[in-house]
Amino acid sequence: MLKKLLGLLVVIALVVTGLYYACPEKLVKLAVEGERAAASLSRHEIDVAGLKYVYLEGGKGEPLVLIHGFGADKENFTRVAKFLTPRFHVIIPDLPGFGESGKPADGIYTVASQVERVHALVQALGLKTVHLGGSSMGGNIAASYAAKYPTETASIWLLAPAGLGTAPPSDVELSLKDGGRNPLIASNPDEFAAVFKFVMADPPFLPRRFIDVMGRTAVANHELNAKIFQQIRSEPPLESRVPGLTVPARIVWGDKDRALNVGGAKILAGLMPNASVLILPGIGHLPMLERPREVAADYLTFRDGLKAP
């Protein structure tokens, strides 16, 4: 019996090894599906005003819409969602222009436009008042959504939100200022591997072939990503939209963030009377990927505090 079991394990190991080298795309797909299943999330599609939206959904409770950042997609939130779906109805869309959602070549992908698209999606799903969370660009969208629709926003969870014009310069800003390349946009697989290291100080382990598979998608969207980045940079800063916003807000930032300077946390919190801040030591730009359990626990505490008398 033991020999049969060992033989089976050897066969499985050989199959996995073969897939890793011959068809890494299949292993990545299996890994993605496994992460979704662990978080009790399922994939859905919906057409809203002629535009295709793909989103993940799972859990029961108050609706929590999580919005990914620039150059990312819905899968950025699956690890942290595992700790959230037991309490909340979690919805994680691919924003138009990213992931599996529609990407009109002539589309406008500013934060203001994405706010309206997220609002349209929320309405199409039959939701009224929602809690919002967002990473980087998604945090800018979440905060701007709350400013535009404060009576429809119960709270906002801002993970290193982008868009602050008065924050100290980040490594991204310094690179662009000196005429260097954008460290957030990859034009080849090696550059994507560099992006992966740039945005996280303590990234989860991923085999290089998995990173290369993800990189091929990023490289294919290189021109669109460059266009979207320029559209976002042309907008007024977040400081112009949120002063006096009373929607409860939790701001989370890693002190090793190279994409957006952690000094933005204090600036943003100073503009919103019901905002609080958590600075995570040793963490980069994507806290929900680098420390999903810790970040989720902090968020649950924040949400519990909203119910306190």
pLDDT at 154 over 60: yes
Q: How far apart are CA 98 and CA 112, in angstroms?
A: 16
pLDDT at 243 over 60: yes
| Residues 173-201, mean pLDDT to the nearest whole number | 92
Q: Which residue, chain included where needed, has tokens 């394990």?
A: 9
pLDDT in tens, 193-238: 999 999 999 998 888 888 888 888 888 999 999 999 999 999 999 9
Q: Report the candidate in 144, 175, 134, 128 with the shortest Cα–Cα distance to residue 272.
A: 144
For residue 86, name the pLDDT band (cuts at 50, 70, 90): very high
- What residues contact 235, with CB distance under 8 A and at least 6 apart? 110, 111, 112, 163
**Annotated active-site positions, please?**
68, 136
The mean-pLDDT minimum among 23-27, 132-136, 172-176, 218-222 falls in 23-27
* Terminal-residue alpha carbon distance, the chain: 61
For residue 127, name the pLDDT band (cuts at 50, 70, 90): very high
CA atoms within 13 A on the CB side of 120: 16
Q: How far apart are CA 291 and CA 299, in angstroms?
A: 12
Rounded to 10°, the helix 24-38/2-22 angle is: 110
- What residues contact 10, with CB distance under 8 A and at least 6 apart? none
For residue 252, name the pLDDT band (cuts at 50, 70, 90): very high
pLDDT at 76 over 90: yes
Q: Kindly state the tokens that stand for 18.
A: 């073969």
| Residues 186-195, mean pLDDT to the nearest whole number | 90
Domains and CATH numbers, the chain: 29-168+238-307 (3.40.50.1820)
pLDDT in tens, 10-67: 333 333 444 444 456 788 889 889 999 999 999 999 999 999 999 999 999 999 999 9
pLDDT at 308 over 70: no
Say if CB 198 and CB 183 are below 8 A apart: yes
| Residues 260-287, mean pLDDT to the nearest whole number | 98
245: Cα separation from own chain's centroid: 23
For residue 189, name the pLDDT band (cuts at 50, 70, 90): confident
pLDDT at 275 over 60: yes
pLDDT at 5 over 60: no
Say if CB 177 and CB 162 are below 8 A apart: no
| pLDDT value of residue 105 | 86
Say if CB 230 and CB 169 are below 8 A apart: no
Cα angle, residue 185 at apex, residues 184 and 189 outer, rounded to 5°: 115
| pLDDT value of residue 98 | 97
| pLDDT value of residue 205 | 85
Q: What is the pTM of this model?
A: 0.91
Q: Kindly state the tokens that stand for 183.
A: 């460290």
Q: Which residue, chain included where needed, has tokens 């040793």?
A: 282
pLDDT at 72 over 90: yes
User: Residue by residue, what is the 3-state secondary structure of the chain?
Assistant: CHHHHHHHHHHHHHHHHHHHHHCHHHHHHHHHHHHHHHCCCEEEEEEECCEEEEEEEECCCCEEEEECCCCCCHHHHHHHHCCCCCCCEEEEECCCCCCCCCCCCCCCCCHHHHHHHHHHHHHHCCCCCEEEEEECHHHHHHHHHHHHCHHHEEEEEEECCCCCCCCCCCHHHHHHHCCCCCCCCCCCHHHHHHHHHHHCCCCCCCCHHHHHHHHHHHHHCHHHHHHHHHHHHCCCCHHHCCCCCCCCEEEEEECCCCCCCCCHHHHHHCCCCCEEEEEECCCCCCHHHHCHHHHHHHHHHHHHHHHCC
| pLDDT value of residue 281 | 98
| Residues 179-198, mean pLDDT to the nearest whole number | 91
| pLDDT value of residue 118 | 99
